[in-house]
Amino acid sequence: MHDPPSPVRFSDLGLPDFILERLDSLGFVTPTPIQEQAIPPLLDNYDVVGIAQTGTGKTLAFALPMIACHQPGDLGLVVAPTRELAEQIEETFQMLGVSSTLLIGGAPMEPQIQGLRNTPDFVVATPGRLLDHVERNTIDLRCVTMLVLDEADRMLDMGFAPDINKIVANTEDDRQTMLFSATMPKEIEKMAKRFLYQPVRIEIARTGSTAKDVEQELIIVPQERKMTVLKKLIRDQSGSVLVFTKTKIGARRLTRQLMSRDFSTAEIHSDLDLDRRRMALDGFKRGAFQVLVATDIAARGLDVDDIGLVVNFDVPNNPEDYVHRIGRTGRAGKSGHAVTIASPDQEHDIKDIEKLLQTKIPLSDLSDGGFSIYTSGGSRPRGNNSPRGGGRGPRGGGSDRPTHTFRKKRAKAS
């Protein structure tokens, strides 16, 4: 009987000693699958498309090779859709001990300009504020040798496609480009073909898959009963609860209603200025607020440990947003719980989500009734029913580095 193969370690991936020493001091030893598969080709100067569900460590997957390959005078640029995600990425660079500057809207320009004057090695930015600096000539994107488009599908959803086109047009063609996302709709496929040079594609989980350790539930009640159900869910949950609404107005209204019922609640949406959003998020992380009510601004990049429950108080308009929302719980191998509260007339919306998931969302006993399919088409499964399977990237098993069938990225200009 053969012994099982030893787990892959960061030291097996070809990272330089100074990074391994930093990782060791931070307690990082074993890479996640996306890190294990993305780091070697990035170190070998390939462009990469990385697809993995939220909470799998995508930030380190691109940050570590960017730091390892950085040369004096180079600029590494990471573009992210939201301020919160950009802040968390920049915190990772700071944690790894490299010089970086954060460019996000809602924050004063002058400190950002000063940060750029200090010639950082890395810049993390949201699209609009980055272009503000381009127009002011406070940043020269021709210096960008490594470009990351993080959560690219979300950037398209938020209408940033023209901004992304302008940003890429201002960079040189010999840059190394990395595109990371949790989903891969056709629009992102087209973006990858336009902006990346014969990329290595790494898919840890098939598009639309959700974290295997997230128990999903569907509660069907009339609209007027949704608040009653939400209150019960919060009372039954000892930990933190993240509640999603469709609109900013809905988030404000729901926050007031929960506060009036003595639930410690904060809200986060785009109508709040940056300081108030930070206060809400920091308070939620510290446990000062049990409940955070949010729009889809928090569906990507909200990195809070041990969120016990995610509640879709409003069913998302986009089925892929469902994947991102419930990915806020059950992160980094921990178990989680996600509940969607739907009204009886939302059968079509739920079917669209289930089509993407390729599985049924189990019906909760808290439901008053069900869609017509439940009564006319037989019973639905109850209890946990995790999505089937999960795609694999180009790598095989074991700890060997991937064998690429793609040509290397063309050499950078000397």
Q: Which residue has the higher pLDDT, 372 or 221?
A: 221
Q: Which residue has the higher pLDDT, 48 or 85?
A: 48
Q: Are residues 177 and 247 in the same domain?
A: no
State pLDDT tens for residues 135-165: 999 999 999 999 999 988 888 877 899 999 9
Assess if residue 4 is contained within a domain.
no
Assess if residue 1 is contained within a domain.
no
Min mean pLDDT across 44-58, 220-234, 345-359, 379-393 is at 379-393
**Domain region containing 87:** 10-203
**Whole-angstrom distance, CA of residue 185 vs CA of residue 166:** 21
pLDDT exceeds 90 at position 14 = yes
Q: Are residues 277 and 315 in the same domain?
A: yes
pLDDT band at 370 (very low <50, low <70, confident <90, very high): low
Q: Are residues 42 and 75 in the same domain?
A: yes
Q: Are residues 251 and 125 in the same domain?
A: no
190-199: average pLDDT: 93
Assess if residue 269 is contained within a domain.
yes
Assess if residue 296 is contained within a domain.
yes
pLDDT of residue 205: 60
pLDDT of residue 57: 85
Assess if residue 401 is contained within a domain.
no
Q: Are residues 222 and 177 in the same domain?
A: no
Assess if residue 410 is contained within a domain.
no
In this structure, what DSSP letter does residue 242 have?
A: E
Q: Are residues 128 and 161 in the same domain?
A: yes
pLDDT of residue 210: 55
Among 167, 183, 203, the domain-final residue is: 203
Q: Are residues 14 and 109 in the same domain?
A: yes
Q: Which residue has the higher pLDDT, 80 or 376?
A: 80
Supply the CATH number for residue 243's domain.
3.40.50.300
Q: Which residues of 136-154 are buried (b: 16+ CB within 10 A; e: fewer)?
A: eebbebebbbbbbbbbbbb
Assess if residue 58 is contained within a domain.
yes
Q: Which residues, including other chains, have CB under 8 Å from residue 244's CB and lie 6 or more apart?
A: 293, 294, 295, 296, 298, 299, 310, 311, 312, 313, 314, 316, 325
Assess if residue 381 is contained within a domain.
no
**Whole-angstrom distance, CA of residue 160 vs CA of residue 144:** 20
Q: Are residues 223 and 187 in the same domain?
A: no
Among 149, 173, 203, the domain-final residue is: 203
Number of domains within the chain:
2
Q: Which residue has the higher pLDDT, 328 or 395?
A: 328
Q: Are residues 58 and 173 in the same domain?
A: yes
Residue 76 phi/psi, 5-degree rounding, is -95, 130
Tell me if 172 sits within 8 A of 144, measured CB to CB.
yes
pLDDT of residue 333: 59
Residue 314 phi/psi, 5-degree rounding, is -115, 135
pLDDT exceeds 90 at position 204 = no
In 3-state terms, what secondary structure has residue 338?
strand
Q: Which residue has the higher pLDDT, 237 or 213?
A: 237
Residue 350 phi/psi, 5-degree rounding, is -65, -40
**Whole-angstrom distance, CA of residue 284 vs CA of residue 280:** 6
**Whole-angstrom distance, CA of residue 303 vs CA of residue 305:** 7
Q: Are residues 27 and 99 in the same domain?
A: yes
90-111: average pLDDT: 94
Q: Are residues 174 and 243 in the same domain?
A: no
Laid out side by side, the sheet with 144-150 consists of 100-103, 122-125, 75-79, 144-150, 176-181, 48-51, 200-203
294 half-sphere exposure, CB direction, 13 A CA radius: 27
pLDDT of residue 234: 95
The winner for highest mean pLDDT among 47-56, 64-73, 270-279, 363-372 is: 64-73
Q: Are residues 25 and 165 in the same domain?
A: yes
User: Which residue bears the tokens 């074991």?
Assistant: 398
pLDDT band at 398 (very low <50, low <70, confident <90, very high): very low
pLDDT band at 55 (very low <50, low <70, confident <90, very high): low
